[in-house]
Amino acid sequence: MAPFSFDVLARDGRARGGLLRTPHGEVETPVFMPVGTAGAVKAVLHRDLREMGARILLANTYHLMLRPGDELVARLGGLHGFTGWDGPFLTDSGGYQVFSLAALRRLDEEGVRFQSHIDGTAHLLSPERSMQVQQNLGADVAMAFDECPPGDAPRDVVAEATSRTTRWARRSRDAHRREDQWLFGIVQGGIHLDLREASARELLAIGFPGYAIGGLSVGEPKEGRDRVLEHLDPVLPEDKPRYLMGVGTPEDLVDSVARGVDMFDCVLPTRNARNGQLFTSQGRLAIRNARYKEDPRPPDPACGCPTCRTVSRAYLRHLHLANEMGAATLMSLHNLFYYLDMMRAMRQSIRLCRFAEWRRDTLRRLADGQDGP
Ligand SMILES: [Zn+2]
């Protein structure tokens, strides 16, 4: 059997329930991928991720090429051997981080020259270099190298970045050799529907086994994103996975699944956890708030995660204010569990053809609880 396949097994409206098969296991979609920036999801152990049902992790090309270096990772068995996570991995192209983190970058047709934000050393990230790094890292899914302009960039800048992304996608595909790794193309084009459509059609002509939608977590209004997804839905092939990069809140995930998206990643659940913000079935909860000082209830009484089964809001608040490391772990566990559990519920509602109803109820509950549970 081919190590890779993707099948859409259920549909409800435009929402899709699918199955992605990779050399390191199967992934039911729609799926949320926890972000393991440097090869680890911050403050959380692989064991706990596995137990709470995480199936595929994202790791960042930019961070790992700078530290500890992709060749070292390759010598130690790639991401799977190096990190001990034996499920699927996806690596991003490094494009987004090089544009958002690196200092003194200079972009030309070859690629981006930049200085490491860690030690100031000089590097080049190009389609060929991104493929070399990602093949060394050995994730199950790699991404073509793209140019991701800021959300407020003028149209001509976005247009130039979009056509360069197509040229870089072709070079990425030509430089990609590993047969045990899928390479996805990335659709750019900002919030301009004609640019988005042109980008998607050019990538389709090159031909990829999956398509990502990039540049939609860079500060653009939500309505613009929804319109782009609706416009791309009939353009992208029905039988290939669609991955919306870097998005977003629980509401964003629900609304994007409703527009045909299959895969997501986002730092929000883990980053917000470290800052003391919890996502709950009743909306968001800021654990610093004085009202939780003596609150004996779990963070989310409706949640079955290890944190909600064992600790109170009062204890979590105390740990967070005392800068105890356990606070980050306990809250990251809860937020990730919340996201993964929401995706499970979403997949089930699609299978049962009850997604519209589930979506309405879920969004209403989240909106009602905006002041915190
Ligand atoms: Zn919980």
Kindly write down the DSSP assignment for every residue of 210-243, as one continuous string: -EEE-S-SSS--HHHHHHHHHHHTTTS-TTS-EE
Q: Say if CB 139 and CB 79 are below 8 A apart.
A: yes
Task: Bin 260: left if φ > 0, else alpha if -120 < ψ < 50, else beta.
Answer: left
Report the C-alpha gap between 144 and 139 in whole angstroms: 13
What confidence score (pLDDT) does residue 102 get? Answer: 75
Q: Say if CB 42 and CB 32 are below 8 A apart.
A: no
Average pLDDT over residues 159-185: 98
Q: Please confirm, yes or no, whether 233 is among the known catalytic residues.
A: no
Q: Say if CB 95 and CB 68 are below 8 A apart.
A: no
- Above 60 in pLDDT, residue 328? yes
Residues 6+ apart with CB under 8 A from 164: 109, 147
- Above 80 in pLDDT, residue 327? yes
3-state secondary structure (DSSP) of residue 81: helix
Ligand 1 center from residue 313 Cα (angstroms): 11
What confidence score (pLDDT) does residue 368 get? Answer: 86
Ligand 1 center from residue 211 Cα (angstroms): 32
Q: Is 205 exposed, middle or buried (0-12, 13-18, 19+ CB in 10 A)?
A: exposed
Ligand 1 center from residue 87 Cα (angstroms): 24
Arithmetic mean of pLDDT over the chain = 95
Q: Say if CB 88 and CB 369 are below 8 A apart.
A: no
Q: How many CB atoms lie within 10 A of CB 2?
A: 6
- Above 60 in pLDDT, residue 371? no
Ligand 1 center from residue 191 Cα (angstroms): 35
Query: 0.95 cut: is pTM over it?
Result: yes
What confidence score (pLDDT) does residue 369 get? Answer: 75
Average pLDDT over residues 79-83: 98
CA distance readout (Å), 251 to 280, 283, 354, 362, 367: 12, 10, 17, 9, 9
**Pairing, β 15-22 against β 25-29:** antiparallel
What confidence score (pLDDT) does residue 194 get? Answer: 98
Catalytic residue among 12, 48, 70, 92: 92
Ligand 1 center from residue 339 Cα (angstroms): 10
Catalytic residue among 146, 262, 265, 300: 265
Q: Residue 105 — pLDDT band, cuts 50, 70, 90?
A: confident
Ligand 1 center from residue 144 Cα (angstroms): 36
3-state secondary structure (DSSP) of residue 161: helix
pLDDT tens-digit readout, 191-215: 999 999 999 999 999 999 999 999 9
Query: Max CA-CA distance within the chain?
Result: 60
Ligand 1 center from residue 333 Cα (angstroms): 7
Q: Please confirm, yes or no, whether 70 is among the known catalytic residues.
A: no
Q: Residue 370 — pLDDT band, cuts 50, 70, 90?
A: low
- Above 70 in pLDDT, residue 307? yes
Q: Residue 219 — pLDDT band, cuts 50, 70, 90?
A: confident
Percent of the chain with pLDDT over 90: 90
